[in-house]
């Protein structure tokens, strides 16, 4: 696969800076929107993301949950413990590994997630209603591709904050 732009392309630098700014604006707006939607349910954004993962993916180990949320294991453990205290997460025995514990959303957790999800989807419908169907599909595809590329970079770096990026990779 050939690259459309090289790392030394001056336009690529401008596009990267514009993307950084646009994504920063989008992320900040969505974080506050989500926080405002979620906080009335006594959840943090991270707790809601964890509940979403457990609802959609089913039983996960703590290590799998931490990786899914891009958190270290100790932070993921605190998030899960808080959700468990609230009755939204349950721990069960792993069916294949007697030493491991599976985390699962409880009935109350799944119900809460579905309620929050419905509210956010209604907001998204309002945002998307000004765009035609093809534009909506294109935006979604582009965002998925950007997310996948960013996830690949995080996985390649091992999640370390001190990794120096390799030019062009």
For residue range 74-100, list pLDDT tens digits in order: 999 999 999 999 999 999 888 887 788
User: For 103-123, what is the mean pLDDT?
Assistant: 93
Give pLDDT tens digits for 52-66.
Answer: 999 999 889 999 999
Residue 41's pLDDT is 81
Question: Contact at 8 Å (CB) between 47 and 105?
Answer: no
E strand residue ranges, the chain: 89-93, 101-105
Q: What is the mean pLDDT of the chain?
A: 85
Q: How far apart are CA 169 and CA 164, in angstroms?
A: 11
Is residue 26's pLDDT more than 90? no
Query: Confidence band (pLDDT; 50, 70, 90) for 2?
Result: very low
Q: What is the pLDDT of residue 40?
A: 75
Please report which confidence band the pLDDT of residue 141 belongs to, taking 50, 70 and 90 as the band edges: very high
Query: Residue 8 pLDDT > 80, yes or no?
Result: no
106, 85 contact by CB (below 8 A): no
Domains of the chain as residue ranges with CATH: 10-155 (1.10.10.10)
Quickly count: other Cβ atoms within 10 Å of residue 58's Cβ. 11
SS3 90: strand
Q: Considering only CA atoms, which of 33, 22, 48 is closest in space to residue 122?
A: 33
Per-residue confidence band for 50, with pLDDT thresholds at 50, 70 and 90: very high
Alpha carbon distance 164, 143 (integer Å): 25
Better-scored residue on pLDDT, 62 or 167: 62
Q: If pLDDT is split at 50, 70 and 90, which confidence band does 120 have?
A: confident
With 0-12 / 13-18 / 19 or more C-beta atoms within 10 angstroms meaning exposed / middle / buried, residue 38 is: buried
């Amino acid at each position: 696969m050939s690259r459309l732009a090289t790392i030394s392309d001056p336009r690529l630098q401008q596009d990267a800076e514009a993307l950084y700014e646009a994504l920063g604006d989008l992320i900040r707006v969505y974080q506050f929107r989500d926080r405002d939607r979620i906080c009335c349910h006594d959840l943090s954004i991270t707790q809601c993301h964890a509940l979403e993962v457990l609802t959609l993916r089913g039983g996960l180990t703590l290590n799998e949950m931490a990786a899914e949320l891009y958190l270290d294991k100790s932070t993921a453990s605190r998030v899960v413990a808080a959700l468990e205290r609230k009755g939204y997460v349950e721990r069960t025995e792993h069916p294949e590994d007697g030493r491991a514990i599976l985390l699962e959303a409880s009935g109350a957790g799944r119900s809460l997630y579905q309620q929050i999800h419905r509210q956010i989807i209604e907001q998204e419908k309002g945002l998307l209603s000004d765009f035609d169907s093809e534009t909506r599909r294109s935006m979604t595809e582009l965002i998925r591709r950007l997310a996948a590329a960013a996830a690949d970079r995080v996985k390649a770096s091992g999640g370390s904050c001190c990794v120096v990026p390799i030019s062009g990779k």
